[in-house]
Structure 1
């Protein structure tokens, strides 16, 4: 008995509870969407839409932190828990207003945005499942517990991020703007899940803390509220459970397909150049193509029968033989292209060698020749030699021309000696010698 009392005291939420009148005043104050609350909502929607558009998780988290959407949902939970039907109508009216404004703002943004591709952050909000219900319910519990405390602590920002009311609305706006009904309905379903189960979590805490009813409510009205909550729970849990089961089946298919591919091909050294797996409840497919392997019709039938051993009996195996032929053709084309380029490079090398040879044959070592000339003829101070083409009427002669500069004019005898020396030195039959 003592341990039971200690456990109840340990789990009690009454300790640290704020005065109920103050809590209710704060809840009612956060319901309305007008003035600053409305501006904050629109700004948060635009920020979240930008985050989804550019696939930035940090921007999306920032938008969730400043979003005021929790207010009317928590208000509806308190109203149902206390049977305050005027407060319930006010909360639902404000929630519908906020939802409409959010959808309109996000749709307008995505209509004006030049980026219309669906990023991963956006796609994650289009297929809700049972785990989203768990997150919404327990996130709602934490949020309401924090609201009823004197010390609010750190849970409130975490609840805003975990329950994620803002991104589904923006994704629904994206679906409207792009005409993608599947995105719109999937995101709106996720938003509905979050709203309903945050509300149910709020009702549970209000009942646990025994907030008093605002008026005497007969048993029939109490039963109607319970039936409503039960109906909403079943209505949302069933499709979410189905989506979760479908997700589980898809993950199982991918794991079994990967195991089949590894055991039957990769471990046998068969190189896979292409693989694609596609899951569908009506029938899945595994499509493969190999680098150096062709399968006969009998071998393909054997592989198809092996799928049942991996619990893939509802799966069709597609082996693309054309890919091997295409690969061979691609390889041959590539080799031909390389061969053509090699031949072109060889031609270029030959031409360069010819040009270098011609350049060598058309040039002289001026520096060495000048030093030799100045040693033999000290009056010469500088010189230059090069081939020149002399074109006549019908012929063209290519003759080396030696031009020199001297301190004093060379005599005819010295000039003749220089010319004869140059012919012998350069192994030329004729050399013209000119003074500068």
Structure 2
């Protein structure tokens, strides 16, 4: 019995020692002196470093401008911004205020040069349409916080190893420091606050949480502090850092929560439609959701379903976690309903669309006088249509105008296209229309 206990104790000690060895963060670490020397070097401003930064920011700006992910990744690999942020976190952990000041000065200079260079590029470039790569950098969420946090941990661990490996380039790509600066510069060049503040917020998140994670790992590595602080002084610093962190994180939490909520609701609505709108002689041909009024609109063709069935469908909404939503059903019956008869379904759907458009036109006619006196009336639609054709070469026979519905006024572009456009290309055109006209909403009507 005693021997069995000894064997169990020995096995447990062996397993424990194995995992301690596997996760030992100190095993291949540089000496504390070497780490400190490296961090001191990261605070020095050199001409070569700044020229590399300028080239990287120009490459990133071009990549964003032409919507090239590969070019943007290349710029992030070249960028020297990461080392300065790691140094700020390190100096905070070892309580070296002189190093922190020098690191902040170097980093602030880098950021200023980046913004000026990129802004000049976007002022000069003839391509002034916001791309999907730019738009993606304007709405940071809690996931960006986590990426920056985990990236900073990986970055400081990799930076303190005797063999560097490819950790720093990978972290630079994952945390994306350069693209937000370029996107903010685009906003400055085109006077669009959404791009300025959204992108700078993403950059602030990346910078702050990389620095904080670097500071935390430095403490875990037990790097000797350079200056002793009183308990009161340390608590004061911790409170300041905590307050800044909370203030920065809160908006991203709300944006992330809204993103998750929207995704969940879209999935619930689609599940509801797929499960409930299954009828033998009736087909669901069109659906849409108005998230503001919480209304699900569906169009049916075929045999008319009764009001009792519609009431039952409404009662099923809470089962799919769609409490508060209402159901609006539009039906078109076709004689001798045959769901396989595409021509009949198409005709019925067109009749339904025409009736809905007539109702919309009546409402829009009431707002024509209001539109004539609005800022949108000052837009030169002919010039805007010609400019659209010159920028988007796939368009021809362009015409522009303005109309309105219950959600407000919006700019309209109708044109012929040589080929079907992707959702990303359509979004770029809509963003360009809104930017050029100064109108908050845009619609495209394209035909091949």
Do these two structures clear the TM 0.5 threshold for a shared fold by scoring above it?
yes
Contact 2:42–2:103, Cα closer than 8 Å, also in 1: no
Alpha-carbon distance between aligned partners in 2 of 1:104 and 1:294, rounded to the nearest angstrom: 64
Residue 129, structure 1, aligned to residue 141, structure 2: yes
How much does 1:212 deviate?
1.5
Residues 134, 320 of structure 1: alpha-carbon distance in 2 compared, 3 angstrom cutoff? same
1:275 equivalenced with 2:287 (yes/no): yes
- Judging changes above 3 Å, is the alpha-carbon distance between structure 1 residues 297 and 101 closer, same or farther for their aligned structure 2 residues? farther
Does residue 2 of the first structure (1) align with residue 2 of the second (2)? no
Distance in 1 (alpha carbons) for counterparts of 2:353 and 2:291: 31
Structure 1 residue 179: Cα displacement: 3.1
The CA deviation at 1:160 is 1.1
Aligned to 2:294: 284
For residue 34 of structure 1, report the CA deviation from its aligned partner.
4.2
CA distance in 2, matches of 1:321, 1:193: 50
Q: Which residue of 1 aligns with 2:82?
A: 70
1:327 counterpart (338, 347, 350): 350
CA, structure 1 residues 220+154, in 2 after alignment: closer, same or farther (shift >3 Å)?
same
Q: Which of 90, 112, 129 is residue 100 of structure 1 equivalent to?
A: 112
- 2:274 is aligned to 262
Alignment partner, residue 150 of structure 2: 138
**Is 1:310 matched with 2:333?**
no
3-state SS of the aligned residue for 1:149? coil
Q: CA deviation at 1:304?
A: 4.4
C-alpha distance in 1, partners of 2:237/2:53?
A: 30
CA 1:284–1:62: 2 relative to 1, 3 Å: farther
Q: Match of 2:125? A: 113
> Are residues 1:11 and 2:34 paired?
no
Q: SS where residue 288 of structure 2 aligns?
A: strand
Partners of 2:311 and 2:265 lie apart in 1 by 20
Q: Normalising to structure 1: TM-score of the pair?
A: 0.67
Tell me, yes or no, if the aligned pair for 1:107 and 1:177 is still in contact at 8 Å: yes
Q: What is the rounded CA distance, in whole Å, between the counterparts of 1:247 and 1:329 in structure 2?
A: 33
Contact 1:250 1:279 (8 Å CA) reproduced? no
Q: Does 2:263 correspond to 1:240?
A: no
How big is the shift at 1:194?
0.8
1:29 and 2:52 are equivalent in the alignment: no
Q: Is the 8 A contact 1:291 1:324 kept in 2?
A: no
SS at match of 1:286: strand
Structure 2: how far apart are the matches of 1:165 and 1:262?
42
Query: Cα 1:266–1:297, aligned 2, differ >3 Å: closer, same or farther?
Result: closer
Cα deviation for residue 303 of structure 1 reads: 4.6
Q: Secondary structure at the match of 1:63?
A: helix
Give 1:108 shift. Answer: 2.8
Shift of 1:262: 1.7
Structure 2 stretches lacking a partner, 5+ long: 1-11, 333-345, 355-448
1:207 and 2:219 are equivalent in the alignment: yes
Q: In the aligned structure 1, how far is the partner of 2:84 from the partner of 2:271?
A: 49
Q: Which has the larger radius of gyration?
A: 1
1:402-423 alpha-carbon deviations (Å, 9 max, x no partner): xxxxxxxxxxxxxxxxxxxxxx
Contact 2:281–2:303 (CA under 8 A) maintained in structure 1: no
| CA spacing shift, 1:330–1:72, aligned 2, 3 Å | closer
Identify the residue that residue 335 of structure 1 maps to in structure 2: none
In structure 1, distance between residues paired with 2:312 and 2:125: 52
How far did residue 205 of structure 1 move?
1.5
Q: Secondary structure at the match of 1:205?
A: helix
**Residue matched to 1:377:** none
Count of paired positions: 329
Residues 148 and 265 of structure 1, relative CA distance in 2, 3 Å threshold: same
State the shift of 1:146 in Å. Answer: 1.1
Q: Deviations over 1:48-99 (max 9, x none)?
A: 1222222221111111101111122111111101101111112122222222
| Conservation of the 8 A alpha-carbon contact between 1:292 and 1:324 | no
User: Do the aligned partners of residues 305 and 212 (structure 1) sit closer, same or farther apart at CA in structure 2, a change above 3 Å counting?
Assistant: same
* Correspondence for 1:61: 73
- Going from structure 1 to structure 2, the CA distance change for 1:248 and 1:21 (only over 3 Å counts) comes to same
- Measured after TM superposition, the shift of residue 201 of structure 1 is 1.1
1:106 & 1:284 partners in 2: Cα distance?
42
* 1:276–1:35 Cα change, 3 Å: farther
8 Å CA contact 1:140, 1:198 repeated in 2:
yes
Which residue of 250, 261, 279 maps to 2:262? 250
